[in-house]
């Protein structure tokens, strides 16, 4: 089967499937035309990878398990300890938020320096707050993708409007007119579909998490 079929069966992107191949986790056959051919064995491995990745287990550890260098039980135990740490981390953040609420704060009387100092103190003790730099990067990536798509869509729509305007003064055969309008329309539909996929990819953090996949 082709990569698109593998993508649909497993529910992960083609980009990640290729990444797993680069990391030596799967070894699809190559057809005479050079295209990858995925077997059921590859699908089973990809599903195992998907399951373990959803627990946050790194690709390095997954590969070590497949190669017999690590036991799955050890990886799961390590991840369980990571969950316990994360739960404790969230608990500390909850305590700070509850303290802020108990002080009846508002945006007008918010003492930024005091609360930032409290956060910095907690960070020194091991609490991890939201990485705003990462959030900002995601926002910029989405804005860039939308802006780029908007420019191309605007150009395609302008072309359609120009054709219709020209047709008012010099009749274009109906078949040719439909064909000329269909081309940019199909391009717009394809671009919007690609944009939706790109935004989902950014929101899912796939690109930023590639080193962990």
**Do the beta carbons of residue 91 and residue 68 sit within 8 Å?**
no
pLDDT tens for each residue of 67-109: 999 999 999 999 999 999 889 999 999 999 999 899 888 888 8
Give percent of the chain above pLDDT 90: 40
The residue among 54 and 168 whose pLDDT is bigger is 54
- What DSSP line would sit under 25-44, residue for residue? S---EE-TTS-EE--HHHHH
| Domain ranges, residue 141 | 132-204
pTM for this entry: 0.57
Q: Which of 48, 66, 84 is the last residue of a domain?
A: 66
Nearest partner of 176 among 185, 188, 167, 186, judged by Cα: 167
Same domain, 85 and 141: no
CA distance 33 to 40: 20
| Residue 212 domain flag | no
Element (H or E) spanning 12, and its range? Answer: none
| Packing angle, helices 72-102 and 112-124, rounded to 10 | 160
| Residue 56 domain flag | yes
CATH of the domain at 28: 1.10.1660.10
Q: Which of 66, 89, 105 is the last residue of a domain?
A: 66
What are the beta bridge partners of residue 30? 36
Domain count, the chain: 3
User: Tell me, what's the pLDDT at 205?
Assistant: 53
CA distance 210 to 202: 12
User: Tell me, what's the pLDDT at 129?
Assistant: 83
User: Tell me, what's the pLDDT at 175?
Assistant: 87
The residue among 145 and 11 whose pLDDT is bigger is 11
Average pLDDT over every residue of 58-75:
94
Q: What's the pLDDT band for 194 if we cut at 50, 70, 90? A: confident
User: Tell me, what's the pLDDT at 131?
Assistant: 63
13-41 as b/e: b if 16+ CB within 10 A: beebbebbbeeebbebeeeeeeebebeee
User: Tell me, what's the pLDDT at 123?
Assistant: 87
Q: CA dihedral defined by 95, 86, 133, 202, rounded to 10 degrees? A: -130
Average pLDDT over every residue of 111-127:
89
Q: Is 186 helix (H, G, I), strand (E, B) or coil?
A: helix
| Residue 209 domain flag | no
Average pLDDT over every residue of 21-39:
89
C-alpha to C-alpha distances, 209 to 56, 169, 202, nearest whole angstrom: 11, 55, 10
**Do the beta carbons of residue 212 and residue 58 sit within 8 Å?**
yes
Same domain, 196 and 136: yes
186-198 as b/e: b if 16+ CB within 10 A: eebeebeeebeeb
Assess whether pLDDT exceeds 80 at residue 159.
yes
């Amino acid at each position: 089967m082709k990569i698109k079929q593998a993508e649909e069966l497993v529910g992960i992107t083609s980009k990640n499937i290729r990444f797993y191949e680069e990391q030596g986790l799967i070894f699809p056959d190559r057809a005479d035309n050079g295209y990858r051919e995925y077997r059921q064995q590859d699908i089973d491995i990809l599903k195992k990878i998907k399951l373990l990745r959803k627990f946050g287990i790194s690709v390095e550890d997954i590969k070590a398990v497949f190669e017999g260098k690590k036991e799955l039980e050890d990886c799961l135990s390590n991840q369980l300890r990571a969950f316990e740490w994360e739960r404790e981390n969230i608990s500390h953040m909850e305590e700070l938020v509850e303290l802020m609420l108990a002080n009846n704060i508002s945006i007008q009387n918010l003492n930024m320096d005091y609360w930032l100092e409290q956060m910095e103190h907690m960070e020194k003790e091991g609490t991890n707050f939201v990485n705003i730099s990462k959030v900002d990067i995601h926002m910029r990536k989405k804005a860039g993708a939308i802006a780029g798509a908007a420019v191309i869509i605007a150009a395609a729509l302008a072309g359609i409007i120009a054709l219709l305007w020209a047709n008012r003064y010099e009749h274009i055969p109906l078949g040719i007119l439909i064909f000329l309008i269909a081309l940019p329309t199909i391009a717009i539909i394809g671009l919007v579909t690609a944009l939706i996929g790109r935004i989902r990819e950014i929101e899912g953090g796939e690109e930023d998490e590639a080193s962990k996949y």
